Amino acid sequence: MRIRRFLALSLFCGGILAGAEAAADVTLPPPPFGLSDVRTGPVADQRVAWWRQARLGMFIHFGVYSVLGHGEWAMFSEHIPRNDYAKLADDFHPDPAAPAEWAKVARQSGMKYMVLTARHHDGFSLFASRANDFNVATHNNGQDVVKNYTDAARREGLRVGLYYSPLDWRFPGYFMPDLYLDSAEAMRNQYHREVEQLATDYGKIDLLWYDGGGEQWLGFGGLEFDGAKWGSRDRGKPYTGRFSWRDGEVDQRLHQLQPDILVNDRTSVPGDWRTRENPVNLGGFDDVQPWELCITLAGTWGYQPGARPRSLDELVRLLVQTATRDGNLLVNVGPAPDGHIPPDQIARLGELGAWLQKYGRAIYGTRGGPFLPTATMGATRVDSTVFLHLLGGEGDHLPTIITVPEFPGGPTLLRARLVGTGASLTVSKGKGGTDIGIPPQAARNGIAIVELSYDGPVMGLAPRPL
């Protein structure tokens, strides 16, 4: 993942407040510096429908950096020479059975899709790459982690995703593509060949999660010499050098091999969803551009011994805050060098799975709205039902009465009940809407979910404030 202390750039474009679906496929203007357009419209919506319904996925950062246990950016941040870093592969011997564990944990945790780092910025491929000798198979008698993973995910009924970084720190051409043009072009060749191999050798791939691509990200924002000193290229100034990733060629070939594959917004071609990274960039409501918030479960993205997982309450809150803003949540685990996820992280994810067994119908298959989220409330909807999510917190109390706005000329509220217990709630005419009584101790894990049943569909209603 991209670490902000190394970059002075924002990876997130603020949420767009919108209600009606676009009438035709369009691409919206790109957000600041380095992210591509995102396809929107009826055809685009149909392509991402399964993904939007899934709501929750598992991210897995795994590679030779796991041996060090300092996170996935160790090579760059600790200035480890390329040849010294390569020696880590001699100590990287993942258990071939570990991917089966990942997939089982993901399913039991309520995840619907998975994303594995097929190759991160350090250039180490978790598959038997035909374009890159620095790969897991050359040190493990041909073991192909990507193959083990894709097979395991499908056995558990999960959608298969792969993370891939065109960027490779081993190539000087990434940092100075014009001065080291031959290096940059060799890196590009590796990128083209490896993506084609991933799209060819591993069956149906449901999504490709790019990171580090696009001309604007060259040199982490564009190292530029002005005749006196080196500095970062101004974020509003596009790269105009001789090098190009030729992302369009990769995308065309990728979709020839995998017609239904979804890609994110981190290359120079239009993507299928917008990427938001880390809770600080949760952002606002957006039901036009599909989007996903990725977070770590514990510590850094890559393995970090002793890192404590987020509490269940925090995980649930982040999931609810994301769903009510109409996004997906991608929760990352960083397996140990042997490939196994730390037990405390497995336990926490199991708790999340148990919560979803009870409350998941207010998350899965829903869309955000019709009420816009606030700091203490949010809503999801499906058919003629609205799920109102009331966010309490440690030491906080839920309101005893909430007022739900009416929809002039729209559906009428019939009844309200508490999700999880099915208890009916008192409903009465109030000033400016319908008052609903919330019983004491209604919250579980800091959140109470109220199911509002209407006499007509709520999906076409424009989002409005609570």
Residue 357 has pLDDT above 80, yes or no: yes
Residue 296 has pLDDT above 80, yes or no: yes
Residue 181 CA: distances (Å) to CA of 132, 164, 245: 19, 22, 12
Residue 32 has pLDDT above 50, yes or no: no
d(CA 282, CA 386): 22
Q: Looking at residue 27, what is its pLDDT?
A: 42
Domain 42-233+242-365 sits in CATH at 3.20.20.80
- The answer to which of 1-5, 74-78, 231-235 has the lowest mean pLDDT is 1-5
How do the domains of the chain map onto residue ranges? 42-233+242-365, 368-454
CA angle 319, 323, 328 (to 5 degrees): 80
d(CA 273, CA 289): 7
Q: Looking at residue 229, what is its pLDDT?
A: 85
pTM of the predicted protein model = 0.92
Strands, E assignment, 85-243: 113-119, 159-164, 207-210, 223-225, 230-232
Residue 36 has pLDDT above 80, yes or no: yes
Token output for 395 = 């030491």
Nearest CA-CA partner of 67 in 304, 384, 378, 367: 304
Contact call for residues 215 and 244 (beta carbons, < 8 A): yes
**What percentage of residues in the chain have a pLDDT greater than 70?**
91
For 155, other C-beta atoms within 10 Å of its C-beta total 13
Q: Looking at residue 102, what is its pLDDT?
A: 98
Q: Looking at residue 393, what is its pLDDT?
A: 53
Indicate the DSSP class of residue 337: T
* Fold of the domain built from segment(s) 368-454: Immunoglobulin-like (2.60.40)
Q: Looking at residue 24, what is its pLDDT?
A: 41
Contact call for residues 188 and 245 (beta carbons, < 8 A): yes
